[in-house]
Amino acid sequence: MQELIRIESVPAKLGANFEEVKARLQAELAKYDVIVTIDTLPDAKKLATELNQTAKAIDERRKIEVAAVSEPIRTFDNQMKELVTMCKDGRQKLLDQIKIFEDETREKIRALLEARRAELWEQNGIAPEFRRATYDDLVILTALTKAGNLAAKQDRELEARVLADKSLQDRTERRLLELENASYKAGLSAPLTRDHVAGFLMADDDTYAAELDRIIRAEILREQEAQRRMREKLEREQQEREAMREVQETIRRAQTDRNECLGDAQFTEEELELIPVAEPYEFNAIPETGETKREQAPEPGKVRITVRATFCPEVPEDATDKQIAAALRKTMETAGISTLQSIDIIR
């Protein structure tokens, strides 16, 4: 296209009696290259006016001659600019059409890649949570063949990415299967579940191994603490049961002693009323503090009872009630009974 342009150029030439005019002006100006006096003032003013008029005439003549010579240049410049504009407009139209074509082609490629990826996911049985393969960087114009099919290079790359999803899925499933064995091998009573390792389940092997070891150690410590608390609880319950058995045995012995003491003796109702009655024993001792609390209601299958015991010891005739009571309290404390509230002595 550039070879079609033919330009004929003749350099502009303007001539004038420049030197002649310059010499005359210098001569006239030289006359007044002196200090102006009262005698030369009128001529100086007159020459100044003439010089101003001459300058205007020269400048006007310059403009006219330059414009006349410049007209072909301006015409040429405008014509060249018009050609440039035509080229640029044509180029832009072509670029717009190219963009439309390339955008449509990329959309076709994107649709082919998406369909192919879905097909590969299904063929390899990849679960939704492991479908991570992307293809945005594969959407290039060369990915489409002339027949409108997906190019082999892009197809192979997409398949490799889908197989990477498959590998991740297989590794994760293997880790979950091995998780139970690893838990029992470490000494846990119950195996870890997916919830325990969800945060790092899909990490690289080194990270997964380190995090799993950390979780197992934490679970072992937790189980040991739970077992320790359970043992303490069982020990407390055992102590409570033993204490209850001791009390029950003491009550049984007291009842036996009472029956042996009474024997065949006959008591009137008034005399029976004078036999001291022990306060009900409170069985809910708290080993940690030694405090007691009365149950709000009996446990299922049990009832609350009131225990009354009568003792008939032989004492010296001169023993006072205070001495007898003190000796009885000591005997009860030795037997492990610390709930004795009062002692009534009947002679």
What is the pLDDT averaged over residues 171-176? 91
Q: Where are the alpha helices (DSSP H) in the chain?
A: 18-31, 41-123, 152-186, 194-197, 205-262, 269-273, 321-334
**Does the pLDDT value for residue 339 go beyond 90?**
no
Instruction: Give the three-state DSSP class for 274.
Output: coil
In a domain, 176, yes or no: no
DSSP one-letter code for 141: G
The single residue listed with the structure tokens 């390899």 is 124
Would residue 305 count as lying in a domain? no
Evaluate whether residue 116 is within a structural domain: yes
Residue the block writes with tokens 């195996």:
191
Structural domain total, the chain: 2
Other CB atoms within 10 Å distance of the CB of residue 239:
12
Identify whether 57 is part of a domain: yes
- Which pLDDT score is estimated for 294? 46
Alpha-carbon span 157 to 53, nearest angstrom: 87
Question: Is it the case that residue 281 has pLDDT exceeding 50?
Answer: no
Return phi, psi of residue 313, to 5°: -80, 160
Domain assignment present for 76:
yes
| Assigned domain for 90 exists | yes
Q: What is the mean pLDDT of residues 97-124?
A: 96
CB proximity list for 145: less than 8 A, separation 6 or greater: 151
- Residue range of the domain that includes 108: 17-152
The pair of three-digit structure tokens given for residue 48, joined into one six-digit string: 């100044």
Same domain, 100 and 199: no
Domain-embedded: residue 94:
yes
* DSSP conformation class of 150: B
Share of the chain above pLDDT 90, in %: 33
Q: Is the pLDDT of residue 77 over 60?
A: yes
Q: Quick one: tokens of 223?
A: 């189980």
Looking at 152, 177, 199, which one is the last position of a domain?
152
Provide φ and ψ at 150, rounded to 5°: -75, 130
Mean pLDDT for 138-164 is 95
The answer to whether residues 123 and 202 belong to one domain is no
Confidence band, pLDDT 50/70/90 cuts, at residue 289? very low
Q: What is the per-residue pLDDT for 278?
A: 42
Residues 21 and 142 in one domain: yes
Whether residue 28 sits in one domain with residue 148: yes
Over range 111-128, report the average pLDDT: 96
Q: Are residues 119 and 205 in the same domain?
A: no
Whether residues 78 and 125 fall in one domain: yes
Written as six digits, the tokens of 242 are: 């033993």
Please measure the distance between the N-terminal and C-terminal CA atoms of the chain and give it in whole angstroms. 147
Rama region for 187: left / alpha / beta (φ>0; ψ in -120 to 50; rest): left
Confidence category of residue 152, pLDDT binned at 50, 70, 90: very high
CB 220 within 8 A of CB 186: yes
Give the list of residues 6+ apart from residue 69 with CB closer than 8 angstroms, or none.
12, 14
